[in-house]
Structure 1
Amino acid sequence: MPKAKGKTRRQKFGYSVNRKRLNRNARRKAAPRIECSHIRHAWDHAKSVRQNLAEMGLAVDPNRAVPLRKRKVKAMEVDIEERPKELVRKPYVLNDLEAEASLPEKKGNTLSRDLIDYVRYMVENHGEDYKAMARDEKNYYQDTPKQIRSKINVYKRFYPAEWQDFLDSLQKRKMEVE
């Protein structure tokens, strides 16, 4: 639908807006955030992506960095010219990335506190008798003996040192009782 005649207003200049800050924020939002802190701190915004990564010793294109060799060697290809190595001006970035990659992986998954308490209670009261565990009143979910055994095995796998300490403490209790 067309607008009514005389209802359009001309655009007025906003004097109260800080154009420099507006442009800076727009540029910052337009540029992607680099997740890796090592690369982000060494990044020079005045240089291109290729120049930045070359200074850090990283490859822009992995296909060119590690080319596939052709199986057949022709007589004409003997005189292959080698590209000169690019100068790595920021080797600390590469060293930091390698050090971070060599760290052991952190376990992300753990068992719930309820399951740990359940397994400890069952083993403490019944030992290796899984049928008695299945008949126990604390077996709220009515687990079968095989299900209980698998839960105990999961606990053993997740916390081997803690499991061994638990068994040692059970042995000490038995020795004290006798």
Structure 2
Amino acid sequence: MPKAKGKTRRQKFGYNVNRKRLNRNARRKAAPRIECSHIRHAWDHAKSVRQNLAEMGLAVDPNRAVPLRKRKVKAMEVDIEERPKELVRKPYVLNDLEAEASLPEKKGNTLSRDLIDYVRHMVENHGEDYKVSRLRCPGPFAA
């Protein structure tokens, strides 16, 4: 069987190709990693973003999800047409997100353990005499 033309050439290393830029561009074009674990586990790669989020009960565009009502024209009850509700096939994602959001927030503004021990030591030894405590024991955080 004859081979396709151009397939018999041996492979050569491309010295003029910037591998770092090549990898960076490939990483940019690849699909981004979804940070939320609940959404990531329920994601179907065969479907579009809009379809995936609609199945989870989430909205792609908040302006379309909650439209502003026009106040100029008052519509009669007969004229109001309701949009068909999209079917939520994965309600557990929405429930998990709501449960996670309702948890109390963890306080993260505490000082380091070293700094707390140092301040406790200075207060026990010197009390509120700030000048003496600075002159006698500059400590690990002094400039």
**Pairwise same-fold verdict (TM > 0.5):** yes
Gaps of 5+ in 1: 131-178
Shift, 1:17, TM fit: 19
Aligned length: 130
1:37-76 residue CA offsets vs partner (Å, 9 max, x unmatched): 1111111111111111111000011001111122333357
SS at match of 1:77: coil
Give the Cα separation in 2 of the matches to 1:73 and 1:86. 27
User: Under a length normalisation based on structure 1, what TM-score does the superposition of the two structures give?
Assistant: 0.51
User: 1:75 aligns to what SS in structure 2?
Assistant: coil
Give 5+ residue unaligned stretches, structure 2: 131-143
Residues 6 and 75 (structure 1), Cα distance of their counterparts in 2 relative to 1, 3 Å cut: closer
- Percent of aligned positions that are identical: 98
Q: Aligned pair in 2 of structure 1 residues 29, 127: CA closer, same or farther (>3 Å)?
A: same
C-alpha RMSD of matched pairs (Å): 9.2
Q: For the residues of structure 2 that align with 1:20 and 1:125, how far apart are their CA atoms? A: 57
Distance in 1 (alpha carbons) for counterparts of 2:113 and 2:19: 55
Deviation at 1:7, TM superposition (A): 18
Structure number, greater radius of gyration: 1
Which structure exhibits the higher relative contact order, with contacts defined as CA atoms closer than 8 Å and separated by 6 or more residues?
2
Segment of structure 1 superposing worse, 89-98 or 76-85: 76-85
Q: Normalised by the size of structure 2, how large is the TM-score?
A: 0.61
- Structure-1 separation of matches of 2:39 and 2:22: 26
Pick closer, same or farther for the CA change 1:24–1:7 going to 2, 3 Å: closer
Higher share of residues assigned helix: 1
Distance 2:128 2:11 in 1: 83
